[in-house]
Structure 1
């Protein structure tokens, strides 16, 4: 099991999470590596937790199925839990966003390519369409009358 772990400094917002519904799924974007031959796919790959794909030669399904071009082995991954909300006070230890079961592959890097959402700490004002690609985000909470921010964003992938 592999976990995507987020650390960030939240100012004036809490409950940061990907905007991820069945109607509008969040596509998790990663660099992928074959654990058999250690070949890393040159492109980013994306998948969501709602789509299922058949695994060739198996009766199973997974959210992501990939055939390594070098060793020709087929590998798969499925999101097992998440997404979990990141609270403002979790910066030091980080928080698991999702857990992924990987078979024959490993994700080596994450790109927050998609919209995130949060709510105002004091006002509960909803903030949607948050773009974390630049590594920081700033806005203004009208109800609270104060600036809100997400800074010092870091991602890591760790064994659960």
Structure 2
């Protein structure tokens, strides 16, 4: 089991989370490595918790099924825990975002593509369509009359 964890400095917002619903699935973007031959796939891959793919020679399904081009083995991964909202804290604390059951592969790097959401701490304002791909985000909360931001993003993939 692997967990994607986040540590971030949230100013004026809390409950940072991916926009991840059955109607609008979030694709978690990773670099993947084969645990058999240690080959790292050169391209980024997207994993959705709402997508099911058949595993060859098995009755099972997984959110992500991948065949290593180097050793030809098939591997799979499934997101086992829905995304958790990241709360504002001072100092920022590391928290698990999702947990992934990996079979024969490891995710070695994460890229925060896709849309994220957060809520204004004082105002309750909903901020949707947050883009974290640049490593930070800034906006203005009209109700609270102050700038809000997400900075110092640190993503880790750890054993769960």
Name the TM-score class by shorter chain: over 0.9
Match for residue 79 of structure 1? 79
1:94-144, CA deviations, whole angstroms, 9 ceiling, x for partnerless residues? Answer: 110000000000000000010000000000100000000111000000000
| Residues 53/130 of structure 1: CA separation in 2 closer, same or farther (3 Å cut) | same
Give unmatched runs, 5+ long, in structure 2.
none
Judge conservation of contact 2:12–2:122 (CA < 8 Å) in 1: yes
Aligned residue for 2:41, secondary structure, equals coil
Task: Say yes or no: does 1:19 pair with 2:22.
Answer: no
| Residues 91/25 of structure 1: CA separation in 2 closer, same or farther (3 Å cut) | farther
Map 1:10-159 onto structure 2 (within 5 A): 10-89=10-89, 92-159=92-159
Question: Normalising to structure 2: TM-score of the pair?
Answer: 0.98
Judge conservation of contact 1:7–1:91 (CA < 8 Å) in 2: no
State how far apart, in whole Å, the 1-side matches of 2:92 and 2:106 are.
Answer: 25
Aligned pairs, number: 160
State how far apart, in whole Å, the 1-side matches of 2:90 and 2:43 are.
Answer: 32
RMSD across aligned C-alpha pairs, in angstroms? 0.9
Give unmatched runs, 5+ long, in structure 1.
none
| Residues 62/139 of structure 1: CA separation in 2 closer, same or farther (3 Å cut) | same
Question: Normalising to structure 1: TM-score of the pair?
Answer: 0.98
Deviation beyond 4 Å, 4+ runs, structure 1 = none
